Structure 1
């Protein structure tokens, strides 16, 4: 019987190649899109799961409100790890990271540096904490001594050409010698450490041994014993503020108590976050690795699920629509003794064959599209062909989709009454037009929702691009790692200023695009109580900084490097004024300090006020900022006055080679660096475009098939209408109107949902667009236009057919 069912199924599918092709292609595209999204989501949900005992590893985070600023941070104070091991019996192990960003390394016998983009200090417990092994070296002693480091396989091969490098030396930033004590494998792609290539011994970081609870620069991880109750550990963790932080702070503010600290509106709160939750759930402003969001996972899950569901809906719609042609077959089979179960099995066999063929085609499509998808999503995902579980999952999903997509048509068709079907009225009694209409509404409702989402994402990105940020990022070239020029840096800057293509230049590690950041608490002279603290970004700049970046002075003056007094001067922004409670003019001349614990603190006098500019992502509000005239050599921003950028860059590079021979010339444009802050949004927008297009294509594929069948089913009616004088346009409108009504209903239902959920997405931005009628109306127009084009093709084809042929015979 099974062989007979399969044979009949093949024959039936072969008899209707057009509908079989549409079903198979639509289901394959939906499955391929769903497969790619499923692989992406699986990698996102399994971030950092590869580490040993990952389910017992947590990071200690802190939320701070102090000096008018609210900060969510993954970094805590240097003594946190040792204190946890001392005070908490449930803590099995701890490790700290002090992320250092990019650094230059070279062998002492070479002159050319190699830039390592992600480096960090780390405790010697690192390997045992995360269950990592070394391919060279002893993990127990590798990071015990100062000026030692462990590098990844790729880094070792880049620097030495092999992994047999234990005992060799590397020069850090042309200054310090480090000994290589170990080599480890490159870390997995879905790990928070994936970009890190150099791990230096924490023993060499002097600040890590200081008992300063206000220096929050260390990512602290703990491994808890299996029987630990996390809620109890969390309660004890909160007590550390009273036990350690406040006593330390009272050395600076003798009158501070727990009550007075809370009464001022300030707080410090410690809490834990599981290692495996950091990537998707962290709300911190700073992270060691790439941040994702659980919202994006939900959005992509929604898209993937409905992509497959839309394809299944196509199958249901086309199969039930085509049931009229098979009604007599059902009547004859029932008359000859077939029961309903046998008919259901027959039709489910057909849907299973379509699903199986679709899955094979889907895997081929996914394999071909995978490089493009990886580029789109910024991942290195692969289809796990070597994993047996993959094939089990594929077979189960294929079976499930076959049953799901074929169940409704099978149960509907098998209910046909033999007497009615043999009279040719099976469709009239059994067709369920209302269910099919609801499915069409659902298909296009999803398409409208995705169109709204796509338009909102890209309009928000356009808003970010066009918003006045308060600084000039156009035609600003940023040279990285200018500290490598050493004593030649000033000469390099002067040479650059002498180039005809250069308008101005400034040297600083602090830029309004991703770069160094430094936070400190300052106090107005005479107001040294903790409630008057000003939590402020402190940037060291030179006297060309404001001019080069086009910052606007609203009061006072710029720095003057020739003035000795300006070595203790500060220029503040408008947000600092709000914290001080002063106007711009009144703020000029006041003095602030961060050394309130000293008897004779050093004061900085305010000489100018600049207009607020967005130095952080537009997700964040602008905070207090102070510019100080100090040497900071991390990078150089160069304002160009030529459109011949290639020639300008070549001239600048030649000057660099002259002043810093052997040092890498790394540069970027400031507007490009700004754009990298929003790469997740850009990826989401690109993914939206691709999968919205696929969902529309699948919906239109189904609508095309339904329109074709509808036109075919109404051939005689069209012939009669033409004979009676109906024009092509009248017939076309008549055939189109029924489907157009469904699309309009879908649009009206989906638009409010799109508006609501995309407003939730926009709440992540402090500066955002308002979703206006333009987005809604364009979404409605687009989907209706697509539907009209899809249906009209078949309608016009039927309307222009010769009525004589359609009326001649059956």
Structure 2
């Protein structure tokens, strides 16, 4: 019997090749999209699960409000780890990271530096915390002594053979000499340490030994004892504030109490987050590596589900529409003794065969589309053909999809009454459900069209918005500190180039760069309740000019004024915290370090208009700029013209003043764009899967249009004989489908508007969803429907009526 089911199913599929191919192709598109998205989601949920005891490892977070500003840090103070070990016995061990960004390394006696983009100080408990084995070296001693480091295999190979690495000296940033004490394997791409190649001993980092409870610079991880939950330690974790943090603040603000701070609206809350949750549930300041968002996973999951559901709806629609052709077959089978159960098995067998064919085609499509999807997602994904579990899941998914897609047609057709369908007087029905499914399909498609238009509208808004600074034609040179005492000379020689307008050295730029937060007090208001939290940027005399910042009161730094070494420029957001007008703030004296009678003050000489130095997701915060000597980078304002030639000239100068040092640069607008990489990626994903969803919907609509035209062949012939024109017949055939599309538009427009407004709420500065977005989405849907149905309608309308009526 089973063999007979498959034999009959195969014959039926071959007897109507067009609808079979249409069904297989539609299902394959949905499955291919679902497969690619599933691989992406699986990869996202695999982050940091490779570490030993990963389920017991947590990071300490800090939520701080002080000086009118709110901060959510992924870092805490240096002495936090010691306090946790001494006060919370449920904690087995702690490990701290202090990231330092880029690092220049060279062998002793060499003048050529090798740049590592990610380096960090780390405690010696690092190995036991994460279960990391050394390829070379002893984990018990590897990071115990100051001025020692370990390298990943890739980083070590840039300098020497890894088997001879231990004991070798390396010079860091043209300064201190460190000894290599171990080599570890490269971290996987789904690890939070994936980009790091240099790990230096925390014992040699001075700030790690200072009991300073005011700064938040150390990522601190804890491993809980087996059987302990994070909630078990929360109360004692928070008690650290009163026991240690408040006494630390009292050294600066004598007499201040925790109650007074809370009464002023300030707070400091410590919390934990599981290591395995950081990738998708954490987006805080000072993350050790960029993270994704669980919202993006939800969006992609829904898109994948939509694609598969749309494909299943196509199958149901085409199967129920084609039931008229098989009505007599069902009637004869029932007359010969077939019951409903056997008929359902027969139809479900056919749907499972179609699903199997669709899965094979989907795998081929996924292989072809994988290079594009890798570029789209920014991941190195691959279909795990050699994994037996993959094939088990694929087979299970195929069967479930076949049963799901074929369930309604099977139950629908098995209910036909034999007498009626054999006589031809029975109405197979199902039209109402088919209409509902068409509406659902196009509602999803219109929703995705709206989403795509809104994402791109927001990106256009970001690109065109006045940021308050000039990012065009600005070249950012990195690691200029490698020139040592020649930095100033290098800057002056670059400024003299014909293609250069100006240049400025600083570690702080309004694109992803260093950030430094300090508490400031006005002279005469030195209490903690009067503190203002501001960004503290060290700049030079040319910074405001190069960045094209607008001064609304006062003046810029000027070499003619010697007192400018203790001057400061603030932005409008800082004025709001001080509660002052721009001109009123000029001459105000502020301090960021309280030292009793020896407290040093800065004088406000200028106020700049607010500019966006962070993502448009965030409000503009308070900012101060003062003259500073040390600089990681240099901004060069280029003249319009041949940038390539000017950059080559700058590189020639660099090679002369800093021989052997790497020359690294990028354009500020490109650096700015990286801030919104996830939004652009989301927009590209939306448009890709919107096209796929529309394609699936069109396949179903096209199949229904063919069926509808065949069903009404004689009606069309009679109308033509009675004088109806081709346009009138085409309109009548098309209008029924356009009504369904119209209902889908009415359903999806308010939903799309609401959902995308919620998405835009993540941005402090955002566009508005204009009426034209909704109109354009509706127009696109209508045009697609007309083109899909119109062709078949015209084809049916121009047919010779003699052919359709000659059998009457």
Matches within 5 A, 1:174-573: 174-426=174-426, 428=427, 430-573=428-571
| Residue 703 (structure 1) aligns with | 701
User: Matched residue of 1:614: which SS?
Assistant: coil
In structure 2, distance between residues paired with 1:90 and 1:685: 45
| 1:588 aligned to which of 580, 586, 589 | 586
The corresponding residue for 2:573 is: 575
| Alignment partners' CA distance in 1, 2:782 and 2:736 | 13
Could you tell me whether the CA contact under 8 Å between 2:162 and 2:183 is conserved in 1? no
Q: Distance in 1 between matches of 2:731 and 2:639?
A: 59
Contact 1:51/1:131 (8 A) holds in 2: yes
Question: Does the alignment pair 1:745 with 2:747?
Answer: no
Farther off after superposition, 641-650 or 617-626: 641-650
* CA-CA distance at 1:648 after TM superposition: 1.7
Contact 1:153 1:163 in 2 (8 A): no
| Equivalent residues in 2 for 1:568-717, closer than 5 Å | 568-717=566-715
How much does 1:787 deviate? 0.8
Q: After alignment, is 544-553 or 173-182 more displaced?
A: 173-182
What do the CA deviations read for 1:642-664 (whole angstroms, capped 9, x no partner)?
23222221222222222222111
Q: Is the deviation greater in 61-70 or in 46-55? A: 46-55
Instruction: Report how far residue 112 of structure 1 moved.
Output: 1.9
Query: Which residue in the other structure is 1:764 paired with?
Result: 762
Alpha-carbon deviations, 1:48-91, whole Å to 9, x = none? 11111111111110111111110000110001111111111100
2:87·2:236 contact (CA, 8 Å) conserved in 1? no
CA deviation after TM superposition for structure 1 residue 258, in Å: 1.6
- Structure 1 CA distance for aligned equivalents of residues 670 and 161 of structure 2: 33
Contact 1:576 1:625 survives alignment (8 Å): yes
For residue 419 of structure 1, report the CA deviation from its aligned partner. Answer: 0.9
SS at match of 1:743: helix
1:162 positional shift: 4.7
Question: Which of 764, 774, 786 pairs up with 2:784?
Answer: 786
Partner-residue secondary structure (3-state), 1:637: strand
For 1:231 and 1:662, locate their aligned partners in 2 and report how far apart those are by CA, in whole Å: 53
Partner Cα separation in structure 2 for residue 133 and residue 524 of structure 1 = 52
- Structure 1 moving runs of 4+ over 6 Å: none
Return the offset for 1:164: 4.4
Q: CA deviation at 1:425?
A: 3.4
SS in 2 for 1:75: coil
Tell me which residue corresponds to 1:734.
732
> Take 1:104 and 1:562, find their aligned partners in 2: how far apart are those partners?
36
Unaligned runs of 5+ residues in structure 2 are: none
1:445 deviates by: 0.6
**Structure-1 residue corresponding to 2:65:** 65
Q: Distance in 2 between matches of 1:706 and 1:592?
A: 75
Partner of 2:104: 104
Q: Which moved more, 1:95-104 or 1:183-192?
A: 183-192
Mapped contact 1:253–1:597 kept (Cα < 8 A): no
Distance, in Å, in 1 between the alignment partners of 2:230 and 2:138 is 33
Question: What is the distance in 2 between the residues matched to 1:143 and 1:17?
Answer: 69
Aligned to 2:43: 43
Q: Measure the CA separation in 2 of the matches of 1:29 and 1:321.
A: 21
Q: Deviations over 1:701-749 (max 9, x none)?
A: 1101111111111111111111111111111110111111111101110
Query: In 1, Cα distance between the equivalents of 2:303 and 2:482?
Result: 48
Higher deviation after alignment, 158-167 or 361-370: 158-167
Deviates more, 1:279-288 or 1:450-459: 279-288
CA contact (8 A) 2:41 2:297 kept: yes
* CA distance, structure 2, for counterparts of residue 221 and residue 755 of structure 1: 42
Question: Which one is further off, 277-286 or 259-268?
Answer: 277-286
Separation in 2 of the partners of 1:718 and 1:731?
A: 7
Q: State the Cα RMSD in Å.
A: 1.2
CA contact (8 A) 1:193 1:289 kept: yes
> What's the secondary structure of 1:750's corresponding residue?
helix
Alpha-carbon shift at residue 599 of structure 1 (Å): 2.5
Which is worse superposed, 590-599 or 703-712?
Answer: 590-599
Task: Judge which range, 627-636 or 345-354, deviates more.
Answer: 627-636
Aligned residues: 808
**How many Å separate the matches in 2 of 1:150 and 1:800?**
79
What is the CA deviation profile of residues 738-776 of structure 1, one whole-angstrom value per residue up to 9, with x for unaligned ones? 111111101110111111111111111111111121111
Superposed displacement of residue 562, structure 1: 4.4
For residues 508-554 of structure 1, what are the alpha-carbon distances to aligned partners after superposition, in whole Å with 9 as ceiling and x for unaligned?
01000000111111110010111110111111100000001100011
- Over residues 171-214 of structure 1, what are the superposed CA-to-partner deviations in whole Å (9 max), with x where a residue is unaligned? 21111212221111111112111111111111111100111111
Say whether 1:120 aligns with 2:142. no
- 1:365 CA displacement: 1.2
Distance 2:592 2:550 in 1: 26
* Conserved 8 A contact 1:113-1:664: yes
Rounded Cα–Cα distance in structure 2 between residues aligned with 1:699 and 1:425: 32
How much has 1:286 moved relative to structure 2? 2.6
Q: Distance in 2 between matches of 1:319 and 1:70?
A: 58
Q: Is the 8 A contact 1:32 1:363 kept in 2?
A: yes
